[in-house]
Amino acid sequence: MKKILFFLAFALIYMGCSTAVKQTETPVAPSFDRSVQPPPGPAPTIQIGDSETFTLDNGLRVIVVENDKSPTVSWQLTIDRDPILEGDAAGYVSMAGSELRSGTTNRDKATLDEEIDFIGATLSTGSTGIFASSLNTHTETLLELMSDVTLNPTFPQEELDKSITQTLSGLSTISTNANAIVGNLSSTVVYGENHPYGEVTTDQTVKNITRDLLVDYYETYWRPNISYLVVVGDISAEKVKELANKYFADWEESEVPQMEYTTPQPPEGIRVAFANRPGAVQSVFRVAYPLELTPGHPDLVKVNVMNSILGGGVFSGRLMQNLREDKGYTYGARSRIGTDRLVTSFSAGAEVGNNVTDSAITEVLYEMKRLIEEPVDTESLELVKNFMNGSFARSLESPRTVANFALNIERYNLPEDYYATYLERLEAVTIEDVQEMARQYIKPENAYILVAGSEDEVAPRLAKFATDGNVHFYDHFARPITKSEVNLDESVTAEWVVEQYINAIGGKDNIEKIKDLKSVMTAEMMGSNLRQTIQKMAPHKMHMEFAVGGSVMQKEVFDGKGGYTLAMGQKMEVEEEEIESKKVQAMIVPEMAYLNGGVELELRGVDQVDGNNTYRLRVTTADGTVIDEYYDMESHLKVRDMITYEDGMGQSSTITNDYGNYTEVGGVLFPFSTVVSGVMPMPLEMNVESLEVNVGLDESLFDTN
Residues 235-267 have pLDDT tens digits of 999 999 999 999 999 999 999 999 999 999 999
Tell me: the pLDDT tens digits for 562-576? 999 998 889 999 999
pLDDT at 74: 93
Tell me: the pLDDT tens digits for 11-36? 222 223 333 333 334 444 444 455 55
- The answer to whether the CB of 211 falls within 8 A of the CB of 219 is no
332 and 205 inside one domain: no
69 and 145 inside one domain: yes
pLDDT at 50: 75
pLDDT at 456: 86
291 and 430 inside one domain: yes
359 and 430 inside one domain: yes
pLDDT at 16: 34
pLDDT at 423: 93
pLDDT at 352: 96
Terminal-residue alpha carbon distance, the chain:
34
Is the pLDDT score of 1 beyond 50? no
Residue 42: band (very low, low, confident or very high) from pLDDT cuts 50, 70, 90: low
310 and 243 inside one domain: no
pLDDT at 26: 40
91 and 155 inside one domain: yes
- The answer to whether the CB of 308 falls within 8 A of the CB of 229 is no
Tell me: the pLDDT tens digits for 581-595? 999 999 999 999 999
pLDDT at 46: 62
Report the percentage of the chain scoring pLDDT > 90. Answer: 75
CA distance readout (Å), 661 to 348, 477, 607, 628, 658: 44, 25, 21, 21, 10
- The answer as to whether 563 is a domain residue is yes
pLDDT at 650: 52
Quick one: which H or E segment has residue 426?
helix 422-427
Residue 510: band (very low, low, confident or very high) from pLDDT cuts 50, 70, 90: very high
Is the pLDDT score of 685 beyond 80? yes
513 and 467 inside one domain: no
- The answer as to whether 649 is a domain residue is yes
281 and 242 inside one domain: no
333 and 430 inside one domain: yes
Is the pLDDT score of 599 beyond 70? yes
CA distance 314 to 234: 36
448 and 308 inside one domain: yes
Query: Distance of alpha carbon 215 from its chain centroid, rounded?
Result: 28
pLDDT at 278: 75
Q: Quote the mean pLDDT of the chain.
A: 89
CATH of the domain at 65: 3.30.830.10
Please count the structural domains in the chain.
3
CA distance readout (Å), 651 to 198, 333, 679: 29, 15, 14
pTM of the model: 0.80
234 and 366 inside one domain: no
Q: Which domain holds residue 623?
A: 494-702
